[in-house]
Amino acid sequence: MLDFLKTLVASFQDFLFLAGRSFKNLVRRPHYYDDVFLQMDIIGVGSLPIVALTGGFSGMIIALQMARALNTYGASSQVSSIVTLTLVRELGPVLTALLVAGRNASGIASELGSMKVTEQIDAMRALGTDPVQKLVTPRLTATALMLPCLTVVADAIGLFGAYLIAVPLLHLIDSGAYWSMSWRSLVMNDLAQGLIKPFIFGMIIALVGCYYGLRTTGGTQGVGHATTQAVVAASIWIFFVALLMDKIFVGL
């Protein structure tokens, strides 16, 4: 039991060291801007279709479920406010982060893991390049910048999905009122948590993916193991940090 805890603490310490070095590299030369833009394309543009689809379906499902519940109290016109708050505050950031974790934490871990087991990371160090600066910092920057953008897209498409259910399909509310109530229900606190959360989640996804990738051992089987661990760890961290942040923002 003690050994298990020791390993856990040592792993967390290594993770913090990696995070510290990645952040330090943000202000250290050289900067690999090409790699940042490449990763933004892979993580941001590449995740757009799945994020848009999921966002749209989430909005539709929430609208359908809420319509029934709200009908009971004769408050079906409130569907727009509820969908907006649910999506912007919580579901948009968390769902998008989980999707990107599934798609990109695994991608990052397998890419870096393969490089590790085929000596490419050692080769990089031997050729005078810091792998953290070349591989981790660009992924960290790209994911932290792209996840809030993806979340905004998911929120917008989710709201549109809910609109399709609430307005043309169920006639719960008219079109103008839907958008107006949706806008009025949001306060600065909601927008702040809707954007700060994905920013933090983005950092978690990139760092967890890179951490498991860079500590891969044991050939191709090790790469598979690292990939699975990265997705599981990133998902757990996302929920844990979401809970912490909710506590902070709800307390505001």
Cis status of the peptide bond prior to 30, with omega within 30 of 0: yes
Name the residue type at position 107.
G
* Residue closer to other proteins (CB basis): 53 or 124: 124
* Residue closer to other proteins (CB basis): 27 or 126: 126
Residue 129 within binding range of other proteins, rule CB under 8 A: yes
Rounded to a whole number of angstroms, the minimum distance from the CB of residue 22 to other proteins is 13
Residue 115 within binding range of other proteins, rule CB under 8 A: yes
**Which residues lie below 8 Å from residue 249, measured CB to CB, with a gap of 6+?**
189, 192, 193
Return the residue of 120, 145, 195, 222 that touches other proteins, per CB under 8 A.
120
d(CA 129, CA 131): 6
Quick one: tokens of 34?
């090409």
Q: Which stretch binds other proteins (CB under 8 A): 44-52, 119-127, 153-161, 170-178?
A: 119-127
Residue 134 within binding range of other proteins, rule CB under 8 A: yes
Give the other-Cβ count within 10 Å of 115's Cβ: 20
As to burial, measured by CB atoms within 10 angstroms (0-12 exposed, 13-18 middle, 19+ buried), residue 111 is buried
Residue 123 within binding range of other proteins, rule CB under 8 A: yes
Return the residue of 41, 125, 191, 240 that touches other proteins, per CB under 8 A.
125
Residue 13 within binding range of other proteins, rule CB under 8 A: no
Helices of type H across the chain: 2-25, 33-40, 46-72, 79-85, 92-100, 106-117, 120-126, 131, 137-164, 175-184, 188-214, 219-250
Residue 222 within binding range of other proteins, rule CB under 8 A: no
Return the residue of 30, 41, 191, 244 that touches other proteins, per CB under 8 A.
30
Q: Which stretch binds other proteins (CB under 8 A): 41-49, 121-129, 179-187, 220-228?
A: 121-129
* Residue closer to other proteins (CB basis): 65 or 129: 129
Return the residue of 74, 128, 176, 251 that touches other proteins, per CB under 8 A.
128
Residue 130 within binding range of other proteins, rule CB under 8 A: yes
* Residue closer to other proteins (CB basis): 68 or 125: 125
Q: Which stretch binds other proteins (CB under 8 A): 95-103, 115-123, 163-171, 234-242?
A: 115-123
Nearest to 236 by CA among 215, 208, 210: 208
**Which residues lie below 8 Å from residue 216, measured CB to CB, with a gap of 6+?**
109, 112, 113, 114, 116, 117, 222, 223, 225, 226
Give the other-Cβ count within 10 Å of 161's Cβ: 24
* Residue closer to other proteins (CB basis): 129 or 185: 129
Residues between 164 and 203 with contacts to other proteins, criterion CB under 8 A? none
Binding footprint of other proteins on the chain (CB under 8 A)? 30, 114-115, 118-120, 122-130, 134
